[in-house]
Amino acid sequence: VRNSLISGNETIKMALTIAVGGRVWRKFFKTFPFRSNSALKRFPTCRANGRLYSTSSDVVLVRKDEESGIATVRMNNPPVNSLNPTLMVALRSCFEELEKDKTCRALILTSQKPKVFSAGLDILQLYQKSPDHVAQFWEKVQDMWLALYGSRLITMAAINGHCPAAGCLLGLACDYRIMAEGNFRIGLNETQLDLVAPFWLRQTMIDVIGYRQAEMALMIGALYPSDKALQLGLVDKLAPIEDVQTVAEEEVKNWLKIPDQARAITKMASRKPLLDELRRRKQEDIQTFRDETTRESVQKSIQQYLEKLKAKK
């Protein structure tokens, strides 16, 4: 499924979409439904209205520049932006609100706390929890990813620090990645926790850095320093940590010169097969995650990993 390009029918739909002029975006969204409106109602909203705006829980801070249409989304879940349910729901809600905002053209995803972009999934949420808890947790990961990976917006990750595992998942879901120079690491280190990255995450890694490098990186759970990540194509540009945001804004401004419609349709043409595949296999993916994560041997590995993290101090 993944390797096939968009189908004939979809190509015709897209061509028609382009041809109908004024109604083009309505048709476009019909062809590529990015989100479910009913789902929107269930989550805290975060309106991006030109001033610093925070969600009800303050774990996501959004500032949108009305003139340029660029929104900066800052993860603010100290100490390490671990992705717990609150942060993931707020991120998803934020991505969906920006998606709906017709004046928004781009989003920059970054961390409020320099030196750590995100430490990935909150490991405590995977340890000694009920199968139902783990299943609900994983659905939040999927929904957050679907909203970001399937976004019509220009999405740019301003990776201002460490970016392991699901931090890297967020980065990979964006269109472009700028990372801080220096001793910061990025990668999908799941195997080190005895976890297996799901098919959709593996596929995005393959799409970004190519099959051989992705296969190797995933098997050994590699975390790369930023210069090596640049060399592999895992990130697109490096900048001194204090300049990551500015460089991201400059890069977005270049991208804004491309007409939104053609750029977004092109993006969806390449991403739709994977988005559709996850939507189709969502329940199966949740069950696999639940069953694997709650397995005794995996629980033991997670416990050891947590002990290692604590012992670091």
Contacts of 160 (CB under 8 A, 6+ apart): 110, 111, 114, 115, 117, 180, 241, 244, 245
Peptide bond into 131 cis (omega under 30): no
Q: Per rule CB under 6 A, is residue 119 in the interface with ligand LUC3G6IP? A: yes
Q: Per rule CB under 6 A, is residue 69 in the interface with ligand LUC3G6IP? A: no
Of 38-46, 65-73, 114-122, 268-276, the segment contacting ligand LUC3G6IP by CB under 6 A is 114-122
List the one residue from 196, 206, 247, 256 that touches ligand LUC3G6IP (CB under 6 A): 196
Q: Per rule CB under 6 A, is residue 217 in the interface with ligand LUC3G6IP? A: no
List the one residue from 99, 122, 175, 251 that touches ligand LUC3G6IP (CB under 6 A): 122
Residue nearer to ligand LUC3G6IP on the CB measure, 17 or 160 = 160
Compute the least distance from the CB of residue 251 to ligand LUC3G6IP, in Å. Answer: 25
Residue nearer to ligand LUC3G6IP on the CB measure, 162 or 271 = 162
Q: Per rule CB under 6 A, is residue 146 in the interface with ligand LUC3G6IP? A: no
For residues 286 and 139, is the Cβ–Cβ distance under 8 A? yes
For residues 293 and 134, is the Cβ–Cβ distance under 8 A? yes
- How many residues touch ligand LUC3G6IP (CB under 6 A)? 29
Compute the least distance from the CB of residue 193 to ligand LUC3G6IP, in Å. Answer: 6
Interface residues toward ligand LUC3G6IP, by CB under 6 A: 79-80, 82, 116, 119-124, 162, 164-166, 189-190, 193, 195-198, 201, 288-289, 292-293, 309-310, 312
